[in-house]
Amino acid sequence: MSFADSYLGQIRALVGHRPLLVIGVRVVIEDAAGRVLILRRQDTGDWGLPAGAMELGESLAEAMRREVREETDLNLGEIEIFGISSDPATECFTYPNGDQVQGVSILAHASAPGGTPASNDGEAAGFRFVDPVGIPAEDFTRPEYPSLQAFLRWRETGRFQFF
């Protein structure tokens, strides 16, 4: 689906760059070695997680599966929610085109489904499985880095992350 055809794209056509409250999803895909899949974003050049906005008429699980399929061409199996990110210090973001959002992001974990990640919608310029412990914040897209840190806390403690 093109951005213009998406719910958020249709709202943007009406309100321009004004800040919007957006329900988002972020998925940490982990392989058997404990590495996570990150993707290089086309719009900022930063590394990030498979993520995006929920569409009208879609469940959170459907949004997660769709975003992962669109951005990586992978089909997820079981999904486990590990947190919610809503801190404006983290979730307020201005995209390179000037669009502003304040997100409420549902954070999920999934095991790597097998296959080779590939850009299915042009949003990703590349993919890597990496050890999530050593990723520098400056190499990662700002709103998604705290989600990666929350994943590490969840993986260590098993406690739901809420920030």
Give the count of domains, the chain. 1
Residue 157: domain span = 17-162
The CA distance from 7 to 89, in Å, is 25
5 within some domain? no
Decide: pTM greater than 0.85.
yes
Residue 49 lies in a domain: yes
CATH number assigned to the domain comprising residue 121? 3.90.79.10
For the stretch 12-41, pLDDT in tens is 999 999 999 999 999 999 999 999 999 999
48 and 144 Cβ atoms separated by less than 8 Å: yes
In a domain, 27, yes or no: yes
d(CA 131, CA 154): 15
Tens digit of pLDDT for each residue in 47-103? 999 999 999 999 999 999 999 999 999 999 999 999 999 999 999 999 999 999 999
